[in-house]
Amino acid sequence: MFSDQIISWYQLNKRDLPWRRTKDPYKVWLSEIILQQTRVAQGLPYYKIFIETFPKLQDLARASEQEVLKLWQGLGYYSRARNMHATARHIYSDLNGTFPNTYSELLKLKGVGDYTASAIASFCYREATPVLDGNVYRVLSRYFGINIPIDTGKAKKEFKSLALELIDISNPGLFNQAIMEFGSLQCTPVQPNCQKCPLNDSCVALQKRQVGILPQKSKKIKIKKRFFNYLVVETNTNKTLIKQRKGKGIWKNLYEFPLIETENRINFKQLIQNIDFINFIKEQDFQLKECTPSQIVHKLSHQHLHIKFWVVNLKSFDQELIPWREVKEYPFPIVLHNFIVDFLKQKKQ
Ligand code: SF4
């Protein structure tokens, strides 16, 4: 039977991961939020540092958003961190610190969708709620030869009801962990290990030679190109200017240098003629230098950011500046953080 085989495989092959040794919903929730859109190898150190810094829900609830974003720095999809922090505060102050213990109550939490609610409800409270992540879609789609595009509402319904039929109701958490791990290690997106797969005598995709084309997707992600010019202010007082990003869009509440976004890549001459640059400088004397490398391409899931850093030397500046030595204490997108580290090294030399 499918679920028995998956569970037996899991018991022999599973990785020993810290969140698998606990039923504490706070820790499971933290791990699930970190692991969304993140590989285990990348997420593991973040999980450890979060648990070390905020061992209990109330520790996370009492922290400032800036502290949380700083620890999250480099993981991307920062709304996960902001929502997680808001949810910790909500549970702590509105729910007396008690984690909701059913799928439907968990689903009401900010940042907790069907996947995370199912994971916590099944792992911690043995509720038979199947999880559907990319790994599960892939395993089910291949094993049962289902070619409905997995990025559609129809697929969500069909796969959910199939998973509900398959789930081991005596141990739903174990089944969910097993199928996800199976997708992650055995039935991988590229070059799945079909030869040594315990399901290979009944796998439809293998029989029909469809392993390479399943699962199917209907939409191609449209990648938008954006051009960011960061103005790195330098003054005689060894201070610079940073700003917090506001509004919707990427990197909300993280910090950055003053930004001029343009429609295309621009050169020195085009920058000094740019209206935003002119307004920024306000008729002061300045020296401008383009930093190397001349352009960094930072790839996000739906956007490719073409980033240039420009050092602007100014005698004085009428906005509140902060000392360079304090800059690293603020949460920055990782591409800016890396720039700052290199820039400060060069300044010291
Ligand atoms: S036989 Fe291959 S495609 Fe089928 S479930 Fe196993 S690893 Fe996946």
pLDDT at residue 171 in the model? 95
User: What is the rounded distance in angstroms from the CA atom of residue 299 to the CA atom of residue 311?
Assistant: 23
Q: What is the pLDDT of residues 96-153, one digit of tens each?
A: 999 999 999 999 999 999 999 999 999 999 999 999 999 999 999 999 999 999 999 9
* Least confident span in 108-117, 127-136, 190-199, 215-224: 215-224
Q: Per-residue pLDDT tens for 57-72?
A: 999 999 999 999 999 9
At 247, is the pLDDT very low, low, confident or very high (cuts 50, 70, 90)? confident
pLDDT of residue 315: 84
Distance 184 CA to ligand 1 centre (A): 12
Portion of the chain with pLDDT greater than 70, in percent: 100
User: Cβ(291)–Cβ(311) under 8 Å?
Assistant: yes
* pLDDT of res. 50: 98
Q: Among 2, 139, 147, 214, which is best to mutate for testing ligand 1, by the most ligand atoms less than 8 A from CB? A: 139
For the chain, domains (ranges, CATH) are 2-213 (1.10.340.30), 224-348 (3.90.79.10)
Beta-carbon neighbour count of residue 214 at 10 Å? 20
Averaged pLDDT, 243-253: 92
Compute the distance from residue 36 Cα to the ligand 1 centre, in Å. 23
Poorest-pLDDT segment among 202-206, 210-214, 312-316: 312-316
β strands within 14-115, DSSP E = none
What SS3 state is found at 250?
coil
- Is the pLDDT at 326 greater than 90, yes or no? yes
Contacting residues for 198 by C-beta, under 8 A, at least 6 apart: 5, 8, 9
- Beta carbons within 8 Å of 247's beta carbon, 6+ residues apart: none
Helix axes 134-143, 172-185, angle to 10 degrees: 80
Report pLDDT digits (tens) over 30-39: 999 999 888 9
On the question of pLDDT at 22 being above 80, the answer is yes
What pLDDT is recorded for position 219?
78
Confidence (pLDDT) at 283: 82
What pTM was computed for the model?
0.86
Exposed/middle/buried for 312, CB within 10 Å: 0-12, 13-18, 19+?
buried
Q: What CA–CA distance (Å, rounded) separates 329 from 185?
A: 37
Cα gap 65→246, rounded to integer Å: 14
What does the pLDDT average to over 209-215?
95
With tokens 């020195």, the residue in question is 268
CA-closest residue to ligand 1 atom 4: 203
Is 32 a catalytic site residue? Answer: yes
Cα–ligand 1 centroid distance for 172 (angstroms): 22
Q: Which atom of ligand 1 is nearest to the CA of 203?
A: 4
- Cβ atoms of 40 and 181 within 8 Å: the answer is no
Phi-psi region of 130 (alpha: psi -120 to 50; beta: other; left: phi over 0): beta
- C-alpha to C-alpha distance for 33 and 43, rounded to whole angstroms: 10
Average pLDDT, the chain: 94
Mean of the pLDDT values across residues 164-189?
96
- Mean pLDDT on 73-101: 96
User: What confidence score (pLDDT) does residue 318 get?
Assistant: 79
Place of tokens 């000392």: 323
Distance 108 CA to ligand 1 centre (A): 36
Q: Supply the residue whose CA is at minimum distance from atom 5 of ligand 1.
A: 143
- Name which residue sits closest to atom 8 of ligand 1, judged by CA: 187
pLDDT digits (tens, 9 = 90+) for 262-298: 999 999 999 999 999 999 998 888 999 998 777 899 9
Query: Has residue 190 got a pLDDT over 80?
Result: yes
Centre of ligand 1 to C-alpha 199, Å, is: 6
Residue 186 Cα: closest atom of ligand 1: 7
**pLDDT number for residue 18:** 96
**Residues facing residue 255 across a β-bridge:** 244
Cα of 140 to ligand 1 centre, how many Å? 10
Instruction: Please choose from 138, 197, 204 the residue to mutate so as to test ligand 1's pocket, defined by most ligand atoms within 8 A of CB.
Output: 197
User: On the CB side of 221, how many CA atoms lie within 13 Å of its CA?
Assistant: 9
Average the pLDDT over 36-57 and give the result.
95
Residue among 32, 127, 181, 234 flagged as catalytic: 32
Which secondary structure element, helix H or strand E, spans residue 65, and what is its range?
helix 65-72
What local confidence, expressed as pLDDT, does residue 220 receive?
78
Mean pLDDT of 80-108: 97
pLDDT at residue 295 in the model: 82
Q: Which residues line ligand 1 (CB under 6 A)?
A: 142-143, 186-187, 192-194, 197, 199-200, 203, 205-206, 211
CB 179 within 8 A of CB 144: no
The residue written with tokens 């240039």 in the block is 308
Gap from CA of 188 to ligand 1 centroid (Å): 9
* Token reading at 269: 């001459």
Q: Does the N-terminal peptide bond of residue 333 adopt cis geometry, omega within 30 degrees of 0?
A: no
pLDDT on residue 239: 92
